[in-house]
Every structure is written in structure tokens, then in C-alpha cells.
Amino acid sequence: MSDLSAFDSTSQTSLSQVNSSQDDVLQAVAIEGVDDDQTHADANVVDMPAEPDIDALLDIAGEASVTWVREQGQLDEVIKALEVCGRVALDTEFIKRDTYYPRLALVQLNTGDHIYLLDAPQLQLAELWHVLTEVDVAIWHACGEDLGIFYLLSGCPPLTNIFDTQIALSYLTGQLQMGYQQALDDQLDMQIDKEQSQSDWLQRPLSDEQEQYAIDDVRFLPALYLSLEYELKKQGLYDYVWEDCQLYAHELYKVQHVEDEAMYLTMADYRYNSQQMAILKAVATWREALARSTNQPRTFVIKKQAVREIITEKPTSMRALAHKTTMHRSMLRLYGEELLKVIKEAKSLAPAEHPECLPPPYRSKNKVLSKAVQQVIDEQANRLGVPANVLMRKKWLGQLYEIIAFNKDLAELPEGLKGWRNEWVLQALIPVIKQHKTELQQGMGIKV
């Protein structure tokens, strides 16, 4: 789960002093490999922070005070602290095993020398969400689920201050989904226990092990951030990481705000014909509305496997639903007749009313295009010092192939290819793909 920084209302030290103390530690340490008489005319050198003293940062983290916030009045001090704090580290703990809407149990916040544990069920957090949108840097690790909850509960627009340490680590290691435990071990030589991740976070009081787990999830995030910031800036990659973090925050916002009628696209398959796509859209829309209205997970209504079976079998009776699909029998009894009506109506739609089929992915035994594209990607990755799988994600490449193969407008490029990658994509990558356009189209089953 992602990280959320906390503040200690009992602190005698202001948050500005906390951040200043961290900066002082950094300024006191010389950058290795830089001569004393070296000029700093180069802008990149001027912008370089001093190499962080990891041991000193870990000492600060280890001495951080911890305060529980259980009453609304205590939250005022947290809000005031956030308003003057430049960097915060954040995490949340929640339960979403048997509900559609996640139940937020805990918010952890860390500003450097103070950690706040917010007892979320006891608090009104609207003001907190708003203030978090205005801090300079909000540090998270693997913020996907956490930001989903943030957007759901806050009603705020996409965040523009996100720094996800998992994304940052992908630039340095090529590992796209490094866990927090491994990140601390690799970067800070710090070991933490993660055994409590699936425990009941709504129970009160939390066990000592749960509380320590929650604290550790944010205790070391500021030190991890400063370590990564230094390394990324040294390699000239920080701005790329920052842009990708904001891109991810926008993508998560869009995912959280998908209309019911568009949910079917998350399960669509290029092998489905137009009528199957119509059935999928109808069933997925029905499932989403039912899950939300009854506050149960989508998979409790119908699992994806059962949805696929409905699409291929097109059942017309309760008997067919029972024997040709793996739909749970309790849901079958409750909603089987209603579902059959949904399927029947979708099957009766005129072809003109069917959703569009998905284009097939590019597949070819002739690897000339793939090799040429990979060469361009590898050359740029080596030039920038960015892992090839970070420079170009498979999903983006598939979308780019579709645009070129079907002569679509380049305005439809995925957002990830419109930012710092855009010039390279337009000037180097697209020309190579167009050179092999016939092979591309044949590999996607397009008659040429």
C-alpha cells in the first residue's frame, strides 16, 4: 500500500525545522568525485543536491516521534503542519476483501521527525485531502491502490505532486514493481517486517505488530526519497521520473472515474466478434451497477471467468447458466433471471448498435519490424541511461502500432508518448515503424 506522511502534534519542533534539518544533513556531506576547485557553471551540477548521509537520515527516522490522531480536534495540528511542510511521505491501510468500496482504516503521515497515525474511521478527512494536494512533494511507494482511495474519498482533481519511489526505482533498476521491503533493503540496507499486510486494520486497538508495521511503512520513506533523488539527479533522470509520476497519478484518476458503460473494455478481447462485445458490455455494465449498489466486490457478483463463459456460451436458460458457466450458485439464484434478460437484450441488438471490436495485436513470425523497433528503443535507452522497458512500455508500443497500422491521427498517441519521449517517438521511432508498415498491417490481419 502507498505511503502517507504523518505529523506529531506533541512536537516542539516545527515542520519547517524538520525539513531544514534534513537539508542541513545533506549540505554537510560533500559529493564524492567532485574536486573542491571544480566550477559549478553547469546547470546540472548547480541543481545537484549533496550526497545524502544515509546513516544520519536513518538516525533521524529512528528518532521520529509517533502520535495517534483519534479525535477531530487533533487533526487541526496535522493540517497546520501540512500547510508549512515541503515534503511528506504517505501510506494508507484499508480493507477491501468483501466490499465494493474500500474501508479506510488508517492514514500514516511522516514529515521527517514526526509520524502521525490517523484513525480514519473516527475522523472527517476532507480538509486533509485538500491540503495534501498542495504540498510540494507527496512521497509514496506503489501508490496505485492508495491514490484510488484518495480520489474516491476526496473528490479532488488529479494530483500533480506525486513522487512514487517504485517508479523511481524502475529507472535505476529496470524492475517495474519492486516492493517496499526490497527497496529499503537494496537502497538503505534497512530490513523491515511485512507480515502484517493482510491483517485486520479495522480492529481496535491494533496489535503492537500492526502498529510497528504501519509506522515502518512511512518511517523510512523520506530517507528513501532523498537517496533516490540524489541518484536520479546525478544521472540526469529526475525530471523524467517526476513527469512519469504525474502521468501515473492522472491515469489512476481516469481509472477511478471510468463510466459503468466503459467497464467492459477492461475485459475485452480482440477475438470477440461484435455480438460478443455487445454481450460483454451489457454484462459488465450490469455487474458494475449491481456490485456498487450492494457494496460487494465485482468478483462476488460474477468472476471474470464466468463472464468469459457467458460471452462464448450465450446462455438462454437458468439450466445453461448453471451448467455452462462457473457463476456462483447463490448469485445464480438471486440474479440469474435478471442476467438472462440482460444477455437476451444484448443479443437482440442490431449490428449497428454493437460496440467496435478490438484490433488484433501485431504478431508475425517475421521479426524484421520487431528487431528494428527494439534497436531504436535500445539505442535511445542507452543514450539516456534509462532501462528499455521503462522508456517504452509494451502497452504504449501496442497503441502506437495500432495508430500507424490504421492511419490514425498522432493526436491519439498515449499520454506516455506525448511528454519527454515525444520528440524521440516522432523523429526516430515512428519513421522506423512506417518503413515496415506493410509487415505491421499483415501482422495485425489487415488486408493491404
Domains and CATH numbers, the chain: 15-256 (3.30.420.10), 260-353 (1.10.150.80), 368-443 (1.10.150)
Could you give the residue ranges of the DSSP H alpha helices within 385-447?
388-391, 394-405, 422-424, 430-435, 437-443
**Residue 415 pLDDT:** 97
Q: Is the pLDDT of residue 40 over 70?
A: no
Q: Is the pLDDT of residue 182 over 70?
A: yes
Burial class (CB in 10 A: 0-12, 13-18, 19+), 437: middle
Whether the CB-CB separation of 192 and 216 falls below 8 Å is answered with yes
Alpha carbons 111 and 20: distance in angstroms, whole number: 11
Report, as an integer, the average pLDDT of 270-280. 98
Helix (H) or strand (E) run with residue 221 in it: helix 221-234
What value does the mean pLDDT take over residues 134-143? 97
177 pLDDT more than 50: yes
C-alpha span between 52 and 230 (Å, rounded): 7
Q: What percentage of the chain reaches a pLDDT higher than 70?
A: 90
Q: Band the pLDDT of 448: cuts 50, 70, 90.
A: confident
Place 364 in a pLDDT band, splitting at 50, 70 and 90.
Answer: confident
pLDDT band (50, 70, 90) for residue 35: very low
What distance in Å separates the CA atoms of residue 126 and residue 124, rounded to the nearest whole number?
Answer: 6
> How is residue 80 written as a grid cell?
497546520
CA dist 234 and 222 (Å) reads: 18
11 close to 113: Cβ distance less than 8 angstroms = yes
More confident call, 83 vs 228: 228
* 302-351 tens-digit pLDDT: 999 999 999 999 999 999 999 999 999 999 999 999 999 999 999 999 99
> What is the pLDDT averaged over residues 372-377?
98
What is the predicted pLDDT for the residue at 426?
98
In this predicted structure, what is the pLDDT of residue 194?
A: 73
Give the span between the Cα atoms of 3 and 115, in whole angstroms: 11
Q: Is 1's pLDDT higher than 50?
A: no
Polymer length in residues for the chain = 448
Report in angstroms the alpha-carbon separations of 222 from 137, 204, 228, 290, 316.
11, 28, 10, 42, 58
Confidence of residue 21 (pLDDT cuts 50, 70, 90): very low
Tell me the pTM: 0.87
Higher-pLDDT residue of 399, 6? 399
Q: What is the pLDDT of residue 48?
A: 81
Instruction: State residue 447's pLDDT score.
Output: 84
pLDDT of residue 50: 87
Per-residue three-class SS string for 236-251: CCHHHHHHHHHHHHHH
pLDDT band at 43 (very low <50, low <70, confident <90, very high): very low
Q: Is 60 exceeded by the pLDDT of residue 7?
A: no
For the segment 240-245, the average pLDDT, to the nearest whole number, is: 98
